[in-house]
Amino acid sequence: MADSNDRLPPLNALRAFEAAARRLSFSKAAEELNVTPGAISQHIRQLEEYAGTPLFKRTGRSVLLTDAAQASLPLVREAFAKIAESGRIMQQPARKGRVMVSCAPSFAAKWLAPRLDRFHISNPGIEAWISADMTITDFTVADADFAIRYGRGNYDGLKSEKLMDETVLPVCSPRLLEGSDAIRKPADLARHALIHDKSTEQDPSCPDWTSWLAARGVGDQVDGQRGPRFNQSSLAIEAAASGRGVVLAKRAIASSDMAAGRLVAPFADGSTSIDFGYWLVWPKGRHQTEDVRAFIKWVKAEAAAGEIHGV
């Protein structure tokens, strides 16, 4: 006869606990799981009765984890990850011919999407589905096979491989290199709008206009604070391509427009290397299908070709 201590905790209650513990909020967990906050509270009470100890400390509108909750949460998350992975393996025949990739909207629009035709031509039996989201992919709930992240590559519980490095450089429409106000040297930027990329994907080592101008010795001649600001890199790029001014752009995000001649780099020595890069990430232990491996091989080849040939 099985020991009563070996009985499994209620699965729905565990799911509510994981979401509430991760977000430190019953209401946010309810939104994520598409249930009412009351249902989350009921599940937590059920799990606390099973555990015989409190799992949360209620402090007004927020909650804190007890020692028992903190100790069990990593195991619960790992268990759900394994359950999700087993489901993915079961679904592999139905998923054949499809690869789901998660990445930031600007990277999706400006780097990945312009190249996808080449993948589909060389892999006609595989459809690439792109999920563009400003939030970091949570593989415990997302359907993504892998993600492309901008950062340093250190992600808890995830395997990561460097896709490519990144640099920042001024770019503008070719029209700004012509006429009486043509850009020839950094001091000429005083006669043009400076476009600011204020997206959330920023590296602390990434220069802003003030530091870039100071490094070129023209900080006292050009006001690095003026000019329009955009909260997505792709919007800043489009503003520059339309002739509205000059933007300090990530090379990867600007590469397709530079290759198409919509953008040019006005200064030969304008590039600045930064600490962050682009990384392929997926959960440790995840089984990758043949289709996913084909896409990863292709995207790594595209990144390598861009770094070799430049833009």
pLDDT band at 135 (very low <50, low <70, confident <90, very high): confident
Distance CA 200, CA 106 (A): 11
pLDDT digits (tens, 9 = 90+) for 200-251: 777 888 899 999 999 999 999 999 999 999 999 999 999 999 999 999 999 9
In the prediction, which pLDDT does 288 show? 85
Q: Is pLDDT above 70 for 92?
A: no
Strands (E), 134-263: 146-151, 158-171, 194-197, 229-230, 246-250
Dihedrals φ, ψ of 299, to 5°?
A: -70, -35
Distance CA 56, CA 3 (A): 27
Q: What is the token pair recorded at 233?
A: 């890199």
pLDDT digits (tens, 9 = 90+) for 150-195: 998 888 888 999 999 999 999 999 999 999 999 999 999 999 999 9
Q: Is pLDDT above 50 for 310?
A: no
Q: Is the pTM of this model over 0.85?
A: no
Are the beta carbons of 179 and 231 closer than 8 angstroms?
no
Q: Is pLDDT above 70 for 94?
A: no
